[in-house]
Amino acid sequence: MRTKTLLSLVILFHAFVFSQENAEELGNLPSVISETSGLLFHNGKLITHNDSGNTPQLFEIDTVTLQITRTVTVLNVDNVDWEDLAQDIDYIYIGDFGNNVGTRSDLAVYRIRKQDYDSSDTVQAERLDFSYVDQLDFTDSGNSDWDAEAFFVLDNDLIILTKQWKSNGTVAYSIPKTPGTHVAQRIEDFDSNGLITGATYNPLSDVLFIIGYSSILGPFTIRIDQPTTTSIFGITAERIPFGGGLAQVEGIAYVDVNTYFVSSEFFTNASPSITIQSKLFSFKTVDMTEEEDPEQSEEPEEPEDAEMPTLESQEQNLLLYRAFGSNELEYELNTDRAIFGRAIFDATGKRIQYTLGEEIEGSTIDLSYFGSAVYYLTFYLDNGVIAKAFTK
């Protein structure tokens, strides 16, 4: 993976203003993963890898301490130029398609069973080999438009986004997400006005986020609502400044309907002299699909002569616990009613987190990314609402 020479940085460094979206810098990543490229959230941990020429290993990162807690080695493949991670319900996908000068004829995606990944620190991968339908020239002409550093799963396809060094845009291609030899079909191009380095499709909100950076390491995100396999960028693509200062952002992963992590790679440049550590960031959206909004769902039918319990009458069924200084909120919900969803609101009534009932796991909530304030933990049941305040 390479970056463009920052010829204009010495002139623009102090004058360039990066507008702050809502990105929060969480800290520096360990030096072992300073060349972090892809990012994924699975089983409560972030997963990342280094890029070209490094070991064929996946590293789990604790989202609070930012330390590596586990390393998984892929035994039967090399890390030629790993650039991104994607997932579906059953598999983790590794994109080995970095291709700076456009000469590679061995582009591949590796597929790993989540069941294998979860149970062992060594795994085997299946290969999905591919070539681009419209790449006819494989000669080395310097920086190429056939590089790629981003992909994601959408329906039954893998969508690969190129990183166009010459055109400064991206092209979306698709291949089936099954092992074999495939020809990547061109879907459409997009003028990103920057180098695309990562992507994540959030099925909880039907939102695609793409990240990248400008020629002077100005990070940005591109948001696309409701992408389809025939129209990735549609008419809703919105380029949003990322904030957080200069950063060579590389990986992005969704956590829930409105929480995302972004990783950046270590960067150094001799002239002008600049060094930027590898970092982890997070940002939040306020997304909520109609299906996820209990207020938009159909009212459950109420039995005759039944009285709907009020919030006050049910509050005693929700107990909250948090040890002093801990970032974990534990709760005990005493009910045999069906749970439609769990939400957290701030004191102004703004919902800042939502989890579908079927996706609630355990009875602990990570508060690491909440500021100091009063919040309300709320449960939507089939016979009413239970809510209780807590402080962070």
- pLDDT tens digits in sequence order for the chain, 392 residues long: 544 333 333 323 322 333 334 688 999 999 999 999 999 999 999 999 999 999 999 999 999 899 999 999 999 999 999 999 999 999 999 999 999 999 999 999 999 999 999 999 999 999 999 999 999 999 998 889 999 999 999 999 999 999 999 999 999 999 999 999 999 999 999 999 999 999 999 999 999 999 999 988 889 999 999 999 999 998 889 888 787 688 999 999 999 998 999 999 999 987 678 899 999 999 999 886 544 444 443 433 433 333 333 333 455 688 888 887 788 899 999 888 888 888 887 766 667 788 888 889 889 998 887 877 778 888 887 767 788 888 87
Q: What is the 3-state secondary structure (H, E, C) of 141-174?
A: CCCCCCEEEEEEEECCEEEEEEECCCCCCEEEEE
DSSP character at residue 213: E
Q: Which long-range contacts (CB under 8 A, 24 or more apart) does 171-179 make?
A: 171/145, 172/232, 172/233, 173/132, 173/133, 174/229, 175/109, 175/128, 175/130, 176/128, 177/88, 177/91, 177/93, 177/111, 177/128, 177/153, 178/128, 179/111, 179/126, 179/127, 179/128
Rounded to 5 degrees, what angle do the CA atoms 63, 376, 332 make? 75
**What confidence score (pLDDT) does residue 378 get?**
86
**What confidence score (pLDDT) does residue 316 get?**
64
**What confidence score (pLDDT) does residue 373 get?**
77
Q: Which two structure tokens, joined as six digits, stand for 149?
A: 């550093």
**What confidence score (pLDDT) does residue 348 get?**
62
Q: How far is CA 35 from CA 112, 196, 237, in A?
A: 22, 16, 29
What is the sign of the dihedral through the CA atoms of 40, 45, 49 and 50? positive
The alpha carbon of residue 92 and the mean position of all alpha carbons in its chain are separated, in whole angstroms, by 13
Cβ atoms 127, 179 nearer than 8 A: yes
User: In whole angstroms, what is the distance from residue 264 CA to residue 250 CA?
Assistant: 5
Give the residue from 95, 91, 77 showing the smallest Cα distance to 39. 95
Other CB atoms within a 10 A radius of the CB of residue 379 amount to 24
**What confidence score (pLDDT) does residue 283 get?**
92
DSSP three-state, residue 207 = strand
**What confidence score (pLDDT) does residue 5 get?**
37
Domains of the chain, earliest start first: 9-287 (2.115.10.20), 312-391 (2.60.40.3080)
Q: Please report how many Cα atoms fall inside a 13 Å half-sphere around the Cα of residue 261, on the Cβ side.
A: 28
Give the residue from 175, 231, 168 showing the smallest Cα distance to 196. 168
User: In whole angstroms, what is the distance from residue 127 CA to residue 109 CA?
Assistant: 6
- DSSP H/E element including 12: helix 9-12
Output the pTM of the full model: 0.72
Q: Which two structure tokens, joined as six digits, stand for 283?
A: 């940002």
User: In whole angstroms, what is the distance from residue 220 CA to residue 80 CA?
Assistant: 27
